[in-house]
Chain A
Amino acid sequence: MFWMYVFRREVGKYPNVTRRFLPRPCMHCRFPSCAEACPTQARHKNEADGIVLTNYSKCIGCRYCVVACPYNVNSFNWKEPKKNQYFDWESEGMDLYGRGAVKEYVGDAIPPNLNPDVARRDIPTLQYRFVGVVEKCTFCSHRIWFGVKRGLKPGVDREATPACVITCPVKALHFGDLDDPNSNVSRLLAKRRWQRALEDLGNEPSVYYLF
């Protein structure tokens, strides 16, 4: 299962060889093919932040979104998701709102990785993971949701930014508000050369590759 897949490719001739990497999160398209194809509206575009999310309690597991997505970002739960393959905050005494014994570890911060095994009834799209439904990268919508609620700015404050972006050791990933012309990502896009994947399909993905 890859919510974030990394393409690898060797280029050059021995001895001058190098490897190229291309990370592939969900593109969170402006016109998502998956949401169009989904027969039950389980896959939808969140109006507030434009993130494309799955409602696991509506998904019927037909895998039409897997077929419809040109970027193939979807993965399917072929069997019951294994419990505790993530750090289990619940067993550390965290309640549904991130309070409890876990405070000793993270203080006031939002836990870096929300255990998907723990249902969040207050976030409609973060519920229990089921067998037989489709999932994909959510841009860590729980971190953005909590962060915005606390008045933080996604992309600037670490706690309101997707986990992949803040953990990347070489700072290859950037995150921010594309609608805001003064945000970090808008400035980067104005300054640097960029390309979007499969631009001619007209999905208008929100992920830009800088060169």
Chain B
Amino acid sequence: MTPEIWGVKLTRKLAAWLSFLIFLILIGVYGFTRTLLEGHWWTGLQVPSMGGAVWGLYVTNYIFLIGASAGGFIIAASAHIFNVERYKSISTLATLLALIIILLPPIFIAADLGRPDRMLHVAYPTPNLRSPLFYVLLTLTLYILLLVLEAWFSMRRRLVMKKSWLTLGFDDLSEYSTKRDERTLKVLSLVGLPLAVSVHSVTGWIFGLMKSRPFWLSPLMAPIFLSSALVSGVALLIFVCIIVKKFAGFKIEQDTLSDLARLLFMMIPIDIFFLMIEVLTVAYAHEHTDMRPLTFLLAGSNAPLFWFEIIVGALIPFVILAFPRFRRSTKLLATSSLLILVGIWLKRWNLLMAGTLFTHEWFGWAEYPLGSYTPSWVEWSVMTGIYGVAALLFTLVIKFLPVEEEMKAMPTPAIVEVE
């Protein structure tokens, strides 16, 4: 006998998966509690004057996840705005994926803050309108609200059919209200696209506006963040589509995935192009302050990660995705999107390290000892826990919400009412 919760059968497999995720979350809760009780002493972070990175694994994941949520939203939004039928079939999944992913960066920031209880002081009572972090909070909040609305409007029809309380009483299934939903979605997407662009740009400007860090101070920071966000976002969407197709039995056409893969294939070169401009400018000018972080990346202690990012994280997937035959293979598609995700994660990491570890020299000789940064077990455990939260949220959403789009031959609303 399998117990049922809100119409979802709690099979043995599902129960095992859920308890595994809760175990992961508990690992994270343990690490988080240790930092709350004893301070960030247990992390590998250190101030630059003592030689070390003051932002580490948490911030890497923060910028990575903000980027990774882009793909889902951009695909869903373009489906609504340009009426792309193919993407419409996964638009709800994409929106919900974006929503779940964008809920994680604030948790990472809460883990990173010395006083997470004061987190909302950024907005009240004494906000600093000259700080990029204020605009991070502003745009991120608006973005989350917009994603909630977008997810609700794209699911409303199916929620009504499921007789869910989540419809909040808007149970109208007439053609007029369906049309109104679609119009609202279009408007939301039109508002959301510039908002998404500003979310990623502002994330880039956290770093790009810092004259204290020679490697970060670059007008290219916002475009790089935008292009990396698109690449990692679409890669994540493809990967998640394959997962739900295999494990949750979603009906996603292979052509949709191939289309997404072609989009990904076209965006990887843009991302590499921006990185190349940055490296070329710094290397050709070879100013002393700028060259130190670049040498650290290209040939120093960080070189293995950097070349892994370029070769395994971008070039190999690019070559795989170049062939339409390979784009149709689920296995190769899953592998290459996973490689891209790892590559973009490492890109964030490399960018963060090259910035935080290297500062200006004074009078040509006075500089702080060059430190290094290794994440400690607390940081890894918190990271594990937060990714556990993501997987748990995603599983629950897939199980309890009508994420899957209606098939073309769905019964008309009139028939459903008769049922």
**Interface residue ranges, A against B (CB under 8 Å):** 2, 5, 7, 9, 20, 22, 24, 33, 36-41, 58-64, 66-70, 72-80, 130-134, 195, 197-198, 201, 209
Q: Considering the complex, give the chain A residue whose CB is closest to the CB of B126.
A: A41
What residues of chain B lie closer than 8 Å to A5, measured between beta carbons?
49, 368
Chain B residues numbered 349-384 whose CB sits less than 8 Å from any CB in chain A:
355-356, 359-360, 362-363, 365-368
**Residue among B49, B54, B126 making CB contact with A67, cutoff 8 Å:** B54
Choose the segment among B37-45, B175-183, B390-398 that binds chain A (4+ C-beta atoms closer than 8 Å). Answer: B37-45
Contact A60 B212 (CB under 8 A): no
10 pairs, CB–CB < 8 Å, chain A vs chain B: A7-B367, A37-B210, A40-B118, A41-B127, A60-B114, A60-B122, A63-B55, A67-B213, A68-B212, A80-B39
B46-74: contact bitstring with A at CB < 8 Å (1 yes, 0 no)?
Answer: 11111000110000000000000000000
In the complex, the 6 A-B pairs of residues with the closest C-beta atoms, listed nearest first: A61-B114, A132-B114, A39-B133, A79-B41, A70-B212, A79-B39
What residues of chain B lie closer than 8 Å to A67, measured between beta carbons?
54-55, 210, 212-213, 355-356
Answer whether residue B223 sits at the interface, using C-beta atoms and an 8 A cutoff. Answer: no
Contact A72 B133 (CB under 8 A): no
Complex: A33 Cα to B212 Cα, angstroms: 8
Q: How many A-B residue pairs have CB under 8 A?
A: 143
Contact B211 A33 (CB under 8 A): yes
**Residue among A33, A58, A133 making CB contact with B114, cutoff 8 Å:** A133
**Minimum distance in angstroms from A207 CB to a CB of chain B:** 11
Q: A33-B211, A37-B131, A201-B360 are in contact. Are A62 and B113 (CB under 8 A)?
A: yes
Other than A36-B130, A67-B213, A201-B212, give 5 A-B pairs with Cβ distance below 8 A: A5-B368, A39-B127, A72-B368, A79-B40, A198-B362
**Minimum distance in angstroms from B48 CB to a CB of chain A:** 5
**Minimum distance in angstroms from A39 CB to a CB of chain B:** 4
**Residue among B47, B210, B212 making CB contact with A76, cutoff 8 Å:** B47
Answer whether residue B128 sits at the interface, using C-beta atoms and an 8 A cutoff. Answer: yes
Chain B residues numbered 261-295 whose CB sits less than 8 Å from any CB in chain A:
none
Answer whether residue B119 sits at the interface, using C-beta atoms and an 8 A cutoff. Answer: yes
What residues of chain A lie closer than 8 Å to B366, measured between beta carbons?
7, 9, 22, 24, 197
Contact B39 A131 (CB under 8 A): yes
Complex: A134 Cα to B40 Cα, angstroms: 12
Complex: A7 Cα to B53 Cα, angstroms: 19
What residues of chain B lie closer than 8 Å to A130, measured between beta carbons?
115
Size class of the B contact interface (CB-based, 8 Å): 35 or more
Contact B47 A131 (CB under 8 A): no
**Interface residue ranges, B against A (CB under 8 Å):** 38-41, 43, 45-50, 54-55, 109, 112-116, 118-119, 121-122, 126-128, 130-134, 137, 206, 210-213, 355-356, 359-360, 362-363, 365-368
Contact A38 B359 (CB under 8 A): no
Contact A36 B114 (CB under 8 A): no
**Residue among A41, A70, A80, A197 making CB contact with B363, cutoff 8 Å:** A197
**Minimum distance in angstroms from A158 CB to a CB of chain B:** 28
Contact A61 B113 (CB under 8 A): yes
Q: Considering the complex, give the chain A residue whose CB is closest to the CB of B109.
A: A62
What residues of chain B lie closer than 8 Å to A76, measured between beta carbons?
40, 45, 47, 54, 114
Q: A62-B133, A69-B212, A72-B359 are in contact. Are A78 and B41 (CB under 8 A)?
A: yes
Q: A40-B126, A64-B133 are in contact. Are A72 and B40 (CB under 8 A)?
A: no
What residues of chain A lie closer than 8 Å to B134, measured between beta carbons?
39
Complex: A75 Cα to B114 Cα, angstroms: 12
What residues of chain A lie closer than 8 Å to B131, measured between beta carbons?
36-39, 64
Q: Considering the complex, give the chain A residue whose CB is closest to the CB of B135.
A: A39
Contact B55 A58 (CB under 8 A): no
Contact A63 B54 (CB under 8 A): yes
Contact A66 B210 (CB under 8 A): no
**Minimum distance in angstroms from B287 CB to a CB of chain A:** 12
Q: A40-B127, A79-B39, A198-B360 are in contact. Are A66 and B48 (CB under 8 A)?
A: yes
**Minimum distance in angstroms from B393 CB to a CB of chain A:** 25
**Minimum distance in angstroms from A171 CB to a CB of chain B:** 21
Most chain B Cβ neighbours within 10 Å, of A9, A36, A61, A130? A61
Complex: A66 Cα to B52 Cα, angstroms: 12
Q: Considering the complex, give the chain B residue whose CB is closest to the CB of A195.
A: B363
**Minimum distance in angstroms from B217 CB to a CB of chain A:** 10
Q: Considering the complex, give the chain B residue whose CB is closest to the CB of A201.
A: B211
Q: A40-B121, A61-B115, A76-B47 are in contact. Are A66 and B39 (CB under 8 A)?
A: no
Q: Considering the complex, give the chain B residue whose CB is closest to the CB of A63.
A: B54
What residues of chain B lie closer than 8 Å to A195, measured between beta carbons?
363
